[in-house]
Amino acid sequence: MNLRDVIINSSSLNDDLVIYAKRVNGQFLPTSEAVLFALSDDEEAMKPDEFASRNCPGFSYCIEMFLLNELLEDLEARGENTTTDEVVERVIYYLENDAYLE
């Protein structure tokens, strides 16, 4: 699964999941490999980079599914006519520039 697939299918995925993705040349891309995790209480207490190093080496914390869905709802509420690719690019821009990533 890649990051684009996760973004466009997020509404059908469990809000409790956390997305980790591989960076390509230091950046998230639509084609970045992505994995989803349902974290236990103990795992939620870990720092995201610690969880990644233990459970998905080479991946970086991306975003929690419920936050992604909120972001997508906000984008949709703006009423702009955007293509799926434009939505994916806007989400990735947010992930790289506005979201708090560890």
pLDDT of 101:
54
**Distance from CA of residue 54 to its chain's centroid?**
19
pLDDT of 80:
76
Please state, rounded to an integer, the average pLDDT across all residues of the chain. 92
pLDDT of 82:
83
pTM score, whole prediction: 0.90
> Residues of the chain whose pLDDT is less than 50?
102
Angle at 18 between CA 76 and CA 36, to 5 degrees: 100
pLDDT of 79:
79
